Structure 1
Amino acid sequence: MDWNAVTLAVFDVDGTLYNQRRLRLKMAYELLLHALRSRSLRTPRLLAAYRRLREQLADDEVQDFEQVLLMQTAGRCRLPPATVAALATEWLEQRPLRHIAACRYDGLPELFQRLRARGKRIAILSDYPAQAKLQATGLAADIIVCAGDVGVLKPHPRGLQLAMALAGAAPASTVMIGDRPERDGAAARRSGAHALIKSRRPLPGWQTFATYRDPLFTVQL
């Protein structure tokens, strides 16, 4: 990375700003308790179907995916769309907020401060609503773009292109920081931007980092 050439740093949220595996374990425990108390597997089955369909819609780059996702999940689970929307919002957006601070990756506040001190703008690009999650991490961004704003999920580059347009940044001066090469990395490459992928192991063809205390951020930036 040549940080001197970067004017915009774009961060994914889930799995990039916080440890998604740790969060999902906490949520799995909550979901288990809920299932035991309600004596029903309706909610875990709905959430599993919702996630699988969302991944498929991302792979297929379906336009206006939110309505399609809602209707297809409702059809598979034989529930009203309003019920699907309410449960997805509760379990995927609202309930996780209480755990996010404890799952945030070390070094991020210092990195955000360092980026701003160097005159870089910070953007968030998420496939889920991100404002509340970002607030829960204690971090702040100049620009927030979510898949719902552009009607299509990553790896489609439209969301990243919108973030760059809002920042007035060229692709060559933009870096997309995420945890999924097939989503975040692909969106960056299709936009002409740089990509940094958070991974504990090297990924052929990608520039990776293990933590936000790597020399890539602490020395080179």
Structure 2
Amino acid sequence: MDWDTIDFVVFDVDGTLYDQRRLRTRMAWELVTRTLPRGDLMTMRVISAFRRRREALAEAEVQNFEARLLHETAIATGVTRAAVQAVVTEWMLRRPLRHLRACRYPATDRLFAGLASAGKTVGILSDYPARDKLRALGLKAEFVVTAGDAGRLKPHPQGLLTLMAEAGAAPSRTLLIGDRPERDGIAAQRAGTRFLIRTTSATDETEFTRFDDPVFAPFLT
């Protein structure tokens, strides 16, 4: 990576900045211990249906997806849209926040600080609300755009295009760092930017395994 050709470094959040599997393990235990003793199966049904429908709407690249997502989840689970929104807010947005710092990947804070010290602009592009998550992770970014802001889920490039426009960044000098090639990688390609994908086993120059890998060494000294 020739970092002299990069001005704007954009990070995905979920699965990129923190260990999503570790978080979901913690949340699964909390969900089971808080809901099953009182016979609440609705919460788990809503979360499962919400995630499935969200993935389907991302693949279909539906515009202004949020209302449709709530509507389809409500139909699939037999509850009201208000009930779906309450479950999502409580169990997918609010409760996970207190676990995020413990799940943050090593060297993430050092990389963010190093990029800022080197004069790089840091941005966030997330399919979920991200501002509270950043605060919980102890990280800062100058620009944040979510799928809700852009009206599109990745791999549609609208969110990345919106983020670059807000930052005044050229696609040729922007790098997107994510964890899903079929979402983050394709969004970057369609927006004309470069990308790096976090993976468990890097096999080429577009992949890395840790934030203290050699590709990030210029910012970690």
Verify same fold: TM over 0.5.
yes
**Aligned equivalent of 1:22:** 22
**Aligned equivalent of 2:214:** 215
Alignment partners' CA distance in 2, 1:92 and 1:14: 12
Alignment partners' CA distance in 1, 2:5 and 2:21: 33
Q: Is the 8 A contact 2:65 2:151 kept in 1?
A: yes
What do residues 75-130 of structure 1 show as CA deviations (whole Å, max 9, x unaligned)?
A: 11111100100111111100000100000011011111111111110000000000
Identity score, percent: 52
Alignment partners' CA distance in 1, 2:120 and 2:110: 14
Tell me, what secondary structure is at the counterpart of 1:110? Answer: helix
Q: Is the 8 A contact 1:3 1:220 kept in 2?
A: no
Gaps of 5+ in 2: none
Quote the offset at 1:201 in angstroms.
1.4
Tell me, what secondary structure is at the counterpart of 1:164? Answer: helix
**Aligned equivalent of 1:68:** 68
Please state if 1:123 is matched with 2:103.
no
What do residues 8-42 of structure 1 show as CA deviations (whole Å, max 9, x unaligned)?
A: 00000000110000000000001111232221211
**Aligned equivalent of 1:100:** 100
Aligned residues: 220
Q: How does 1:2-151 map to 2 (within 5 A)?
A: 2-151=2-151
Quote the offset at 1:2 in angstroms.
1.1
Gaps of 5+ in 1: none
Quote the offset at 1:219 in angstroms.
4.0
| C-alpha RMSD of the superposition | 1.2
Q: Is the 8 A contact 1:19 1:103 kept in 2?
A: yes
TM-score normalised according to structure 2 size: 0.97
Alignment partners' CA distance in 2, 1:35 and 1:94: 16
Please state if 1:159 is matched with 2:159.
yes
Tell me, what secondary structure is at the counterpart of 1:124? Answer: strand
Alignment partners' CA distance in 2, 1:40 and 1:87: 12
2:110 partner amino acid? E
Tell me, what secondary structure is at the counterpart of 2:175? Answer: strand
Moved over 6 A (4+): none
TM-score normalised according to structure 1 size: 0.97
